[in-house]
């Protein structure tokens, strides 16, 4: 049985990455609609620790993993390394004596414990005493109820984690209420839309990436644009002279570097570097997610029988969050980028032949498995290979960021 794993970022107050919650399912189609949590978690743990490697899934950050009643009673968490594991106790557990005693043993062994989707009940008090983190769902819980819980827990050593934070307003609200950690995709939304101009330096970056991705790319014009940006010039020369290329002689000019890389590779390099530059004042996870999307879309295209242009898929995924990077509308930003009609149609109008790939990737990263299953037939990719493609994309993005 394949296990489909998505990871959702968890941030600290400064928007730096704290860890990932690992979300999973046994299948993408409705072939396994009722797979039990015990089997899925066991398979996830086996794959994560023994096959893939947990560090590759989480980049060495904290891994939040859901455990069912039965797995907790059997003390399954204690079979795995204690480092960087957060044992999440699901909201539907029955806090009977057997469960509480098992969780107490897990706690005494040094494992960190979090209570998921927390709603206060008297019978949960023994588990609250063991918890390092309590997660509160901002989408399910009324704001007054959240405030009541925050006040109740004030003065304790328990840290609060706000779940389902989808906008910066929600992030600021949770921050002001005293939450320490934040989970959700608020970082991938523009903070401000109206009236914010794109800075001249970022316009130059858009011009560079636009020129690089023209069908009739002019190397002389591209060279002049790159020479105007010290950071990109440095990174290009450092890249072309790295051990990866094993050059006998050092490459010292931008023109020489462009010619040696060739049209396809220079387009990819420029696109990746400029994306990172454009998001330099944003959480690293925004760039990481963009690169994962780019690679994931590309791999889906390469293995699809649709015959879709994989270079367009790569760029579409890479620029799918550029509105959040520049805090502007997608339509306004696309005016400065001479990308293909197919890419613009997907990003601005959510239409066309590319958009199903982007929808699939966005559903996958949020673990919206039912929606993934409804699209899989449209992109015509072997379902069993998708977990490998996602892991490849995660590794590729993490290695680039690092």
Domain definitions of the chain by residue range: 4-188, 200-401
pLDDT over 50 at 30, yes or no: no
Chain centre to alpha carbon of residue 10: 10
The model's confidence at residue 43, banded by pLDDT at 50, 70 and 90, is low
pLDDT level of residue 50 (50, 70, 90 thresholds): low
Spatial distance between the Cα atoms of 136 and 120, rounded to a whole number of angstroms: 10
Residue 336: which pLDDT band, with cuts at 50, 70 and 90? confident
**Other C-beta atoms lying within 10 Å of the C-beta of residue 251:** 18
**Tens digits of per-residue pLDDT, 230-254?**
888 888 888 888 766 666 678 888 8
Residue 147 or residue 239, greater confidence? 147
Q: In the chain, pLDDT over 70 holds for what percent of residues?
A: 90
Reported as a single tens digit per residue, the pLDDT across 87-110 is: 999 988 999 999 999 999 999 999
Give the Cα-Cα-Cα angle 246, 252, 253 (nearest 5 degrees): 120
CA trace torsion 78, 84, 90, 96 (10° rounding) = 40
DSSP-derived 3-state class of residue 303: coil
Per CATH, domain 4-188 is 3.20.20.450 = yes
- Number of alpha carbons in the 13 Å side-chain half-sphere of residue 24: 28
User: Regarding the domain delimited by 200-401, which CATH topology (the fold level of the hierarchy) does it fall under?
Assistant: Hypothetical protein af1432 (1.10.3210)
């Amino acid at each position: 049985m394949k296990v489909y794993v998505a990871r959702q970022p968890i941030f600290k107050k400064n928007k730096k990455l704290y860890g990932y919650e690992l979300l999973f399912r046994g299948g993408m189609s409705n072939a396994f609609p009722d797979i039990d949590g015990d089997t899925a978690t066991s398979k996830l743990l086996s794959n994560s620790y023994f096959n893939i490697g947990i560090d590759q899934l989480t980049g060495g950050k904290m891994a939040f993993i859901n455990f069912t009643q039965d797995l907790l009673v059997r003390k399954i968490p204690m079979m795995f390394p204690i480092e960087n594991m957060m044992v999440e106790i699901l909201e539907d557990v029955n806090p009977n004596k057997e469960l509480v005693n098992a969780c107490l043993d897990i706690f005494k062994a040094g494992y960190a414990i979090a209570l998921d989707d927390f709603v206060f009940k008297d019978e949960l008090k023994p588990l609250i005493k063991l918890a390092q983190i309590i997660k509160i769902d901002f989408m399910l819980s009324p704001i007054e109820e959240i405030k009541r819980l925050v006040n109740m827990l004030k003065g304790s050593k328990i840290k609060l984690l706000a779940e389902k934070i989808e906008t910066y307003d929600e992030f600021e609200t949770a921050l002001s209420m005293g939450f320490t950690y934040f989970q959700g995709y608020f970082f991938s939304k523009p903070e401000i839309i109206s009236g914010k101009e794109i800075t001249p330096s970022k316009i130059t970056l858009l011009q560079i990436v636009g020129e690089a991705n023209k069908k009739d790319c002019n190397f002389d014009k591209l060279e002049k644009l790159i020479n105007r940006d010290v950071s990109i010039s440095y990174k290009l020369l450092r890249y072309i002279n790295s051990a990866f290329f094993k050059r006998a002689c050092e490459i010292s000019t931008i023109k020489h570097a462009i010619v040696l890389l060739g049209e396809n590779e220079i387009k990819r390099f420029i696109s990746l570097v400029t994306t990172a530059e454009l998001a330099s004042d944003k959480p690293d996870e925004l760039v990481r997610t963009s690169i994962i999307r780019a690679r994931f879309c590309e791999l889906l295209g390469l293995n699809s029988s649709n015959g879709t242009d994989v270079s367009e898929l790569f760029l579409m995924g890479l620029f799918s969050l550029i509105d959040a990077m520049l805090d502007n509308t997608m339509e306004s930003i696309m005016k400065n980028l001479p990308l293909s009609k197919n890419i613009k149609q997907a990003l601005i109008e959510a239409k066309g032949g590319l958009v199903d790939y982007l929808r699939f990737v966005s559903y996958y990263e949020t673990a919206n498995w039912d929606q993934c299953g409804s699209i899989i037939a449209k992109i015509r990719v072997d379902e069993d290979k998708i977990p490998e493609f996602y892991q490849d994309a995660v590794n590729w993005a993490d290695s680039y960021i690092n």
